[in-house]
Amino acid sequence: MLLNVLMSITDAAEIFGGPFNLNQAVAFTFFVGSMAMMGATAFFWLEMRNVSERWRTSLLVSGLITFIAAVHYYYMRDFFVANGDSPTFFRYVDWLLTVPLMCVEFYLITKKAGGKIGTMWKLIFASVVMLVTGYVGEAVYGDVAASWFWGLLSGIAYFYIVYLVWAGEIAKLAANAGGAVKKANNVLAWFVLVGWAIYPVGYILGTTGGLFGLDFGVDAGFMDVVYNIGDAVNKIGFGLVIYTLAVSKEQD
């Protein structure tokens, strides 16, 4: 797999030619993202044996998130090298699988504090609505009115998730649990508010009339680089927060 990835990066350099350019940078970030996600997966799954049974499912899910992302990045890189286009469809498929799993993590860390399965499904449903409407607005329809409509629906779902983890049921459960659980939820809440913000911002910059009908002229390749870096930080960072929580509970 590594050899194939390296060969594709070489192919990208030949296809896009000349000095190091934006297209080569995009291909390289797909490569780095794939390797980083796979390395994180190995770390999370190997560390499952070093934490208490209570936290093993959380680390398992963290590893699943980065593993799914690693596989998708492998295919997204191939698609980009072959076509020179942004792999929007594959990216949304990746998010549709990994973002709900990230929502599951909130339930897992607050389960002992009284977290209910219904709360988890609220988060999952909101994340699916956010992503499906975002994809429809970005990739299916190209006019200003449609971008605004579907973007608004996606934004409402996103801010509902923000509300749940900052002031809603998840936040209250974490506050009641206190200690390491509260600290971990606070950090994860910042990931949702700041880290996940790259997705609605990318939607605004990348769609027709995304903000007050303005065309920002942002290159799709530049947004791919931002998405690739942001995705790695969000997914791996999410898992590292869970790992830190598991280790801290071992030391309590």
Alpha helix locations (H) across 19-87?
Answer: 22-46, 53-83
What single-letter DSSP state applies at residue 211?
B
Domain of 33 in residue numbering reads as: 2-251
Of the candidates 44, 73, 97, the one whose C-alpha atom is nearest the C-alpha of residue 238 is 44
pLDDT above 70 for 20: no
Q: Which residue has the tokens 């870096």?
A: 229
User: Number of structural domains, the chain?
Assistant: 1
What does the pLDDT read at residue 188?
93
Task: Dump pLDDT digits (tens) for 171-205.
Answer: 999 999 889 899 999 999 999 999 888 888 877 77
- Report how far residue 96's alpha carbon sits from residue 88's, in angstroms, rounded to the nearest whole number: 12
**Dihedral sign (CA 102, 106, 111, 116):** negative
Predicted structure pTM score: 0.86
pLDDT above 50 for 12: no
Longest Cα–Cα distance of the chain, Å, equals 59
Task: Report the CATH number at residue 86.
Answer: 1.20.1070.10
> Taking CA 208 as the corner, what is the angle to CA 125 and CA 34, rounded to the nearest 5 degrees?
55
